[in-house]
Amino acid sequence: MILFLTDNITKINGMSIFSVHFKKWLEENYNEYIIILEINTNTLIHVKQNSNLEYSLINKVFVNGHYSNSDIVVRKNHLRKKLLYYNFILDDDCTFTIISHGWQKVKNRFSIYNIAYNIKNLIKTLNINSISKHYNSIIFISNKCDDYRHYDYKWSIKNNFRFEYIDFTKEIFVNHSTSINACLKNYILVISNFDTVKNLFLLFKINFYNKRKGKKIKNFVLLTTKPKSFTNKIIYKLLVFSKVTIIFDQSQKKFLITNCNYLFIPSHTEYLPIVAFEAFSMNKNVLSFYFIIGLSELKKYHFIKK
């Protein structure tokens, strides 16, 4: 039996979108029973099990993301206790695989965010050898690598640690309803939550600069989730002030991508954003503020800064 451990698969964000596609990959590549445990809600989301067994034995565990809450559960040896609650047990020879989304280093771009990011991740970089204490292998979601992304890839090569690639660069199409008001025209679409790494403050800066210079402001449309922290609520108000159209209805994603001029990714750092492939599948161009190596070979991808 296979266990897929992920922070989110029901909540709408990048982690959950990837989790859904990884679940499909598991179902396509394994004939074994699969269970999915969403750590943030401590809920068993998807179960295929043999009802004839009093206990179900798990022999493979896939964990979504370095230093995610799912990874912390494994590192703190809390997984067995969580599984016993659902009458699942780990096989003594169970293998553990961590999924890497591109990890650790950020190119020096001289901003407060990058200083904070590197300080936050310093302990992870110093403790990278701990991967081998808890995991048998790593899955990389792309074979692209540079000096700043997939730091753990170079570590794996150096230490002969087992790894494999799973190509998630295939076109992804999301089926949603299209009931949103069709009056939106000639807009630049941004799909992002208010996480600091997403750099949504950039939208305010662009429009503030254009207005100050007497230029036409950009018609940004942001599809997002509601901000929760005090800082993000301030950014939200600044975006509204700078005439950014903000939409919370996630069911409108397909319509918004289909009708936008192009998809804009303002993030400080990304490795392989799945939302870009949703745009590509609808024949849209994707522009990022900073270079995204995972998209670098695709014709419809463009960037502003490297």
**In CATH, what number is assigned to the domain containing residue 195?**
3.40.50.2000
Residue 262 has what pLDDT? 96
Q: For the chain, how many structural domains are there in total?
A: 2
- Write out the chain in H/E/C secondary structure: CEEEEECCCCCCCHHHHHHHHHHHHHHHHCCCCEEEEECCCCEEEEECCCCCCCCEEEEEEEEECCCCHHHHHHHCCCHHHHHHCCCEEEEEEEEEEEEECCCCCCCCCCCHHHHHHHHHCHHHHHCHHHHHHHCCEEEECCCCCCCCCCHHHHHHHHCCCCEEECCCCCCCCCCCCCCCCCCCCCCEEEECCCCHHHCCHHHHHHHHHHHHCCCCCCCEEEECCCCCCHHHHHHHHHHHHCCCEEECCHHHHHHHHHHCCEEEECCCCCCCCHHHHHHHHCCCCEEEEECCHHHCCCCCEEEEEC
Q: Is 192 among the domain residues? A: yes
Residue 148 has what pLDDT? 62
227 φ, ψ to 5°?
A: -70, 145
Residue 263 has what pLDDT? 97
CA atoms 23, 153, 306, 297: torsion sign: negative
Look at the chain and count its residues: 306
Q: Which two tokens stand for residue 203?
A: 């939208």
Domain end: 118, 134, 165, which one?
A: 165
109 and 219 in a single domain? The answer is no
144 and 200 in a single domain? The answer is no
Residue 265 has what pLDDT? 97
Q: Is 177 among the domain residues? A: no
294 φ, ψ to 5°?
A: -65, -20
Unique residue bearing structure tokens 């954003």: 273
Question: pTM for the whole thing?
Answer: 0.67
115 and 155 in a single domain? The answer is yes
Q: Is 171 among the domain residues? A: no
Q: What is the mean pLDDT of each run of 10 residues along the chain (306 residues)?
A: 91 76 87 90 75 74 91 93 89 94 60 65 76 93 72 86 79 38 74 90 93 91 89 90 89 90 93 88 93 89 92
99 and 230 in a single domain? The answer is no
200 and 275 in a single domain? The answer is yes
Q: Is 180 among the domain residues? A: no
Q: Is 228 among the domain residues? A: yes
112 and 23 in a single domain? The answer is yes
60 φ, ψ to 5°?
A: -140, 135
CA atoms 119, 123, 125, 131: torsion sign: negative
Domain, as residue range, for 20:
2-165
37 and 147 in a single domain? The answer is yes
Residue 138 has what pLDDT? 94
229 and 87 in a single domain? The answer is no
123 and 206 in a single domain? The answer is no
Domain end: 165, 200, 215, which one?
A: 165
156 and 299 in a single domain? The answer is no
Residue 139 has what pLDDT? 92
227 and 281 in a single domain? The answer is yes
Q: How many Cα atoms within 13 Å fall on the side-chain side of residue 65?
A: 19
Other C-beta atoms within 10 Å of 153: how many? Answer: 22
C-alpha triplet 22, 27, 33: angle, nearest 5°: 115
Residue 130 has what pLDDT? 87
Amino acid at 170: K
46 and 117 in a single domain? The answer is yes
CA distances from 11 to 65, 79, 126, 151 (A): 16, 22, 32, 28
